[in-house]
């Protein structure tokens, strides 16, 4: 990092050699100054300021705004500690970057991972184990988390991830439109619309009011997660499963899957209660503009509709197929990627950041997520938070994506499932053809030896 | 070279200085192109995993066998070729037409040159965002215009039959400027007096274009076509950003397949085999064109 010795005093006319030397010296000085910047640290292969927490996440939209508030909260509470937060595109691109950075010995101190993606990261040897005694130092213990989320996050009985929420698929409804459609009860809540017929009838009534659609949900590429979430919610209500034995076996139930797919096709293609071609932004916009009375999506879209200042409520997705209640969900967790030279001070710095995020569960819950941190989830503060607490029960009925090295939120598994399901909803594939496609594409991955 | 002949011996030997000046480039070329390419080729014979150190178990030809037997690999390769077929003709023909038109404009020529070239300077992500907005169902500019005019909506990016066409339209708008500039340069090379002489002989503008301009641009055309085919075969960005290979995998390109299996699935060995196969395809296309250009040059 030392620049060459001071350049000789410049002669009246700057010689070529002198200029070159001066430039080099300047570059050296720049490099020195650059050590504290990420670019400088990257070029010089040195560590960012040791007192800084580097934090990677995948939160955009409303989630991104809430997460920034929480980061500011951490900065205010820890004035001496630097925080460098970076947001990446959700899904496979994020996990690819996280894996490569960890393999290249440049991981962040703390990173967000979906619960369903974390196991693969652990098996690839990319995450640190979180030992009970370390967690205890920061006031965290297994029984302080939502048990469904905590248990789902254990790998071989060891903890590697701190769940901060459960984010289920939910039903948004426009209060005014539903009122006109006669779907609101005396107490202002949505009437029960469980069952295949009741749900379709409710959409039909709403469609009469809006003149366009009953509900919207995102179907078009590149969003494959949304069709999968809607399908999985109903398929799990029938008790169906897709993968077994860590993803090495396909246990798709053709009859059940066919029934759900046929129902989805009826809603979109045949009865046009939902648009059969709409992308994510469009599905959100149609609901926000009152062109549909219902919207099926993850609860995180709450911030968008609050900003739109529209009269909306949120509730559990109805139990359409009448089995024991189930809903597709995942959890955001905080993980600590493997560091080459992890010492206790660094570990405590990272865990302190994790704890600070949990302490700000209110901000995160305002963004729609069901808190996993029980001290807050059981508080009156959360119970009074509406409409967020209306669907808190979803956390206990959460169905996570099946285990497998290619499974989890935004994974190849979801892309395969969602592509086929979306094609049925768009009227491009019959349910039978979609099931055949799912089988053939999944079997390639199921038969491939796990690369981790 | 012929430095050994008596006459030329007096000329200084430039080999050493030439090598010295070339050295920085050669070092970088070996370090970042040749080296990794050989490593990739070696890796394609192993079950290399990105998250495990070393090459992994020797796999022989099984990676190649798997790729050649994979319907996903073949459909991805076909998508890339289909994209090349859709984009190359318009990108060559339109670039020529626009270059001819821009050349004939008398006033404000700079404006037309700039207008056609400008989209090319945009980064792929920006182009993708602009066109995703244009293509948005129900609310986007294109579909709004269609419905206002009384036509039915086109599901630009959501229909597997349309998605590749939509991506091709975006690409033509975006990259036309490069071929356009090559043609403009080609047009400057044609001597003015040929046009004057032909005008005196009574040739009209259309005859001039057909008999003088197009034949004399044939070398530029060959260059434009080869560069365009290779560029189209390497397509990745637009599809990755705009459709992620969807709907229902109908726009997943060969390169995205390599990216998906190599980086997302951690299967570096298999991805290396798939990319070697893609390399062979591009090499074959280039070789065909090389042979055709040679023949063309001999005829001239």
pLDDT tens, position by position, A379-404: 999 999 989 999 999 988 999 999 99
pLDDT of residue A42: 57
Contact B59, B47 (CB under 8 A): yes
| Shortest distance, CA B287 to any CA of chain A (angstroms) | 34
- Select from A221, A407, A408, A428 the residue whose CB has the most chain B CBs within 10 Å, as the one to mutate to test that interface: A221
Task: Assess whether pLDDT exceeds 80 at residue B255.
Answer: yes
What angle (nearest 5°) sits at the alpha carbon of residue B214, between those of residues B208 and B217?
Answer: 125
Mean pLDDT within A333-361: 93
Q: Could B50 and A275 be called an inter-chain contact, meaning their C-beta atoms sit closer than 8 Å? A: no
Contact A234, A260 (CB under 8 A): yes
**Is residue A422 a part of any domain in this protein?**
yes
| Residue B32: count of CB within 10 angstroms of its CB | 10
Of A277, A415, A451, the CB nearest to B137: A277
| Shortest distance, CA A411 to any CA of chain B (angstroms) | 9
> In the numeric block, which tokens belong to residue A106?
């440049």
Same domain, A98 and A133: yes
Q: What is the mean pLDDT of chain A?
A: 89
Same domain, A229 and A191: yes
- Those residues whose C-beta lies under 8 Å from the C-beta of residue B233, and which sit 6 or more positions away, are B80, B81, B84, B254, B278, B281, B282, B285
pLDDT of residue A8: 40
What are the sequence ranges of the domains in chain B? Answer: 61-121+157-297
B-chain residue closest to A411, CA distance: B264
Mean pLDDT within A275-280: 90
Alpha-carbon distance values, B110 to B103, B105, B107 (Å): 10, 10, 8
With H, G, I as helix, E, B as strand and everything else as coil, classify residue A336.
coil
DSSP character at residue A323:
S
pLDDT of residue B35: 95
CA-based nearest residue to A338, from A106, A51, A88, A95: A106
Task: Assess whether pLDDT exceeds 80 at residue A291.
Answer: yes
| Residue B44: count of CB within 10 angstroms of its CB | 23
pLDDT tier for residue B2 given thresholds of 50, 70 and 90: very low
**Is residue A204 a part of any domain in this protein?**
yes
Same domain, A373 and A295: no
Task: Assess whether pLDDT exceeds 90 at residue B6.
Answer: no
Same domain, A227 and A341: no
pLDDT of residue B128: 95
pLDDT digit string (tens) for B171-201? 999 999 999 999 999 999 999 999 999 999 9
CA-based nearest residue to A98, from A111, A117, A114: A111
Chain A residues whose beta carbon lies within 8 Å of the beta carbon of residue B46: none
pLDDT digit string (tens) for A205-243? 999 999 999 999 999 878 999 999 999 999 999 999 999
| Residue A206: count of CB within 10 angstroms of its CB | 25
pLDDT tier for residue B109 given thresholds of 50, 70 and 90: confident
Same domain, A338 and A323: no
DSSP H or E segment with residue A345: helix A344-359
pLDDT of residue A222: 83
Contact A391, A299 (CB under 8 A): yes
Cα–Cα distance, B100 to B104 (Å, whole number): 6
Contact B164, B86 (CB under 8 A): yes
| Shortest distance, CA A283 to any CA of chain B (angstroms) | 10
With H, G, I as helix, E, B as strand and everything else as coil, classify residue A330.
strand
Lowest mean pLDDT among A35-44, A334-343, B112-121, B239-248: A35-44
Task: Assess whether pLDDT exceeds 90 at residue B256.
Answer: yes
Same domain, A178 and A273: yes
pLDDT of residue A43: 58
CATH of the domain at A128: 3.40.190.10
Mean pLDDT within A34-43: 53
Same domain, A209 and A288: yes
Cα–Cα distance, A441 to A418 (Å, whole number): 12
Chain A residues whose beta carbon lies within 8 Å of the beta carbon of residue B244: 221-222, 224, 415
pLDDT of residue B226: 87
Contact B276, B41 (CB under 8 A): yes
pLDDT of residue A10: 41
Same domain, A357 and A443: no
Contact A397, A323 (CB under 8 A): no
With H, G, I as helix, E, B as strand and everything else as coil, classify residue A98.
helix
| Shortest distance, CA A420 to any CA of chain B (angstroms) | 6
Cα–Cα distance, A55 to A78 (Å, whole number): 15
With H, G, I as helix, E, B as strand and everything else as coil, classify residue A163.
strand
- Those residues whose C-beta lies under 8 Å from the C-beta of residue B110, and which sit 6 or more positions away, are none
With H, G, I as helix, E, B as strand and everything else as coil, classify residue B283.
helix
Burial class (CB in 10 A: 0-12, 13-18, 19+), A333: buried
DSSP H or E segment with residue A134: helix A132-137
Same domain, A413 and A311: yes
Report the b/e string of A142-175 with b at 16+ CB within 10 A.
Answer: eebbbebbbebbebeeebbbbbbbbbbbbbbbbb
Chain B residues whose beta carbon lies within 8 Å of the beta carbon of residue A279: 136-137, 157-158
Cα–Cα distance, A357 to B14 (Å, whole number): 67
Cα–Cα distance, A219 to A315 (Å, whole number): 21
Alpha-carbon distance values, B95 to A29, A45, B30, B184, B289 (Å): 48, 46, 35, 9, 20
Chain B residues whose beta carbon lies within 8 Å of the beta carbon of residue A440: 71
DSSP character at residue A178:
H
Q: What is the mean pLDDT of chain B?
A: 90
| Shortest distance, CA A280 to any CA of chain B (angstroms) | 10
Largest CA distance in chain B: 82
Task: Assess whether pLDDT exceeds 90 at residue A22.
Answer: no
pLDDT digit string (tens) for B123-149? 999 999 999 999 988 778 999 899 999
Burial class (CB in 10 A: 0-12, 13-18, 19+), B268: buried
Query: Of all residues in chain B, what percent carry a pLDDT higher than 70?
Result: 96
Chain A residues whose beta carbon lies within 8 Å of the beta carbon of residue B52: 451
Domain range for A90 is 49-166+331-384
Task: Assess whether pLDDT exceeds 70 at residue A19.
Answer: no
Cis status of the peptide bond prior to B180, with omega within 30 of 0: no
Contact A173, A294 (CB under 8 A): yes
Same domain, A283 and A246: yes
pLDDT tier for residue B300 given thresholds of 50, 70 and 90: low
- Those residues whose C-beta lies under 8 Å from the C-beta of residue B253, and which sit 6 or more positions away, are B76, B79, B80, B83, B235, B236, B239, B245
Lowest mean pLDDT among A36-50, B40-54, B74-88: A36-50
Q: How many helices (H) and strands (E) does chain B have?
A: 16, 0
**Is residue A425 a part of any domain in this protein?**
yes
Sole residue written with tokens 């709004």: B144
What is the end-to-end Cα distance of chain B in Å, rounded? Answer: 27
**Is residue A44 a part of any domain in this protein?**
no
Same domain, A174 and A301: yes
pLDDT digit string (tens) for A186-209? 888 899 999 999 999 999 999 999
pLDDT tier for residue B75 given thresholds of 50, 70 and 90: very high
Mean pLDDT within A131-157: 93
Q: Could A92 and B51 be called an inter-chain contact, meaning their C-beta atoms sit closer than 8 Å? A: no
Number of domains chain A contains: 2
**Is residue A38 a part of any domain in this protein?**
no
Same domain, A340 and A323: no
What angle (nearest 5°) sits at the alpha carbon of residue A91, between those of residues A397 and B55?
Answer: 115
Lowest mean pLDDT among A36-45, A68-77, A415-424, A428-437: A36-45
Choose the CATH number for B61-121+157-297 among 2.20.28.10, 3.10.310.30, 1.10.3720.10, 1.20.120.80: 1.10.3720.10
């Amino acid at each position: 990092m030392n620049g060459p010795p001071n350049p000789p005093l410049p002669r009246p006319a700057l010689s070529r050699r002198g200029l070159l030397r001066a430039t080099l010296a300047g570059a050296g000085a720049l490099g020195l100054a650059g050590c504290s910047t990420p670019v400088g640290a990257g070029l010089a292969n040195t560590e960012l300021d040791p007192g800084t927490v580097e934090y990677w996440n995948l939160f955009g939209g409303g989630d991104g705004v809430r997460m920034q508030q929480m980061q500011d909260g951490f900065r205010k509470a820890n004035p001496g500690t630097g925080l460098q937060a970076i947001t990446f595109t959700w899904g496979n691109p994020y996990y690819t970057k996280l894996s490569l950075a960890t393999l290249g010995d440049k991981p962040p101190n703390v990173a967000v991972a979906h619960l369903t993606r974390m196991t693969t990261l652990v098996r690839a040897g990319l995450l640190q184990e979180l030992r009970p005694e370390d967690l205890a130092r920061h006031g965290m213990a297994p029984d302080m988390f939502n048990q469904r989320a905590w248990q789902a996050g254990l790998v071989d009985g060891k903890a590697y991830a701190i769940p901060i929420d459960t984010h289920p698929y939910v039903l948004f409804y426009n209060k005014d439109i539903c009122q006109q459609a006669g779907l609101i009860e005396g107490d202002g809540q949505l009437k029960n619309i469980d069952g295949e017929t009741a749900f379709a009838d409710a959409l039909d009534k709403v469609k009469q009011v809006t003149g366009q659609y009953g509900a919207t949900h995102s179907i078009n590429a590149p969003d494959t997660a949304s069709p999968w979430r809607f399908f999985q919610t109903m398929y799990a209500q029938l008790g169906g499963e897709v993968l077994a034995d860590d993803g090495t076996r396909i246990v798709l139930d053709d009859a059940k899957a066919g029934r759900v797919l046929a129902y989805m096709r009826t809603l979109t293609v045949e009865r046009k209660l939902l648009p059969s071609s709409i992308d994510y932004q469009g599905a959100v916009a149609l609901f926000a503009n009152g062109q549909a009375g219902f919207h099926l999506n993850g609860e995180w879209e709450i911030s968008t509709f609050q900003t739109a200042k529209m009269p909306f409520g949120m509730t559990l997705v109805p139990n359409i197929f009448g089995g024991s209640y189930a809903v597709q969900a995942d959890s955001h967790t905080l993980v600590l990627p493997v560091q080459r030279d992890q010492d206790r001070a660094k570990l405590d710095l990272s865990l302190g950041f994790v704890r600070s995020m949990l302490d700000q569960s209110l901000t995160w819950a305002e963004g729609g997520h069901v808190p996993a941190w029980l001290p807050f989830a059981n508080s009156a503060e959360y119970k009074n938070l509406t409409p967020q607490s209306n669907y808190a029960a979803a956390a206990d009925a959460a169905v996570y994506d099946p285990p497998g090295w290619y499974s989890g939120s935004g994974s190849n598994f979801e892309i395969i499932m969602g592509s086929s399901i979306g094609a049925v909803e768009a009227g491009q594939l019959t349910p039978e053809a979609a099931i055949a496609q799912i089988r053939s594409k999944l079997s390639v991955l199921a038969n491939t030896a796990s690369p981790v | 070279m012929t430095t050994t002949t008596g006459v030329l011996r007096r000329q200084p030997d430039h080999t050493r200085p030439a090598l010295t000046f070339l050295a920085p480039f050669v070092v970088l070329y070996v370090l970042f192109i040749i080296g990794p390419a050989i490593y990739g080729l070696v890796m394609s014979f192993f079950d290399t995993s990105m998250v495990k150190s070393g090459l992994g178990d020797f796999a022989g030809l099984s990676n190649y066998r798997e790729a050649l037997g994979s319907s996903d690999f073949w459909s991805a390769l076909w998508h890339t070729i289909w994209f090349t077929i859709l984009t190359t003709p318009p990108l060559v023909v339109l670039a020529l037409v626009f270059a001819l038109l821009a050349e004939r404009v008398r006033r404000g020529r700079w404006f037309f040159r700039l207008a056609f070239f400008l989209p090319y300077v945009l980064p792929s992500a920006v182009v993708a965002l602009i066109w995703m907005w244009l293509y948005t169902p129900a609310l986007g500019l294109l579909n709004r215009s269609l419905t206002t005019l009384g036509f039915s909506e086109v599901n630009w990016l959501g229909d597997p039959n349309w998605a590749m066409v939509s991506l091709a339209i975006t690409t033509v708008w975006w990259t036309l400027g490069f071929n356009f500039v090559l043609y403009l340069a080609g047009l400057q090379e044609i001597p003015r007096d040929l046009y004057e002489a032909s005008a005196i002989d009574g040739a009209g503008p259309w005859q001039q274009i057909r008999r003088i301009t197009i034949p004399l641009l044939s070398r530029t055309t060959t260059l434009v076509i080869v560069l365009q085919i290779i560029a189209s075969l390497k397509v990745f960005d637009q599809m990755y950003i705009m459709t992620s290979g969807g709907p229902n995998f109908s726009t997943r390109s060969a390169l995205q397949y390599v990216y998906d299996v190599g980086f997302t699935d951690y299967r570096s060995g298999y991805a290396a085999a798939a990319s070697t196969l893609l390399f062979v395809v591009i090499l074959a296309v280039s070789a065909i064109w090389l042979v055709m250009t040679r023949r063309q040059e001999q005829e001239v």
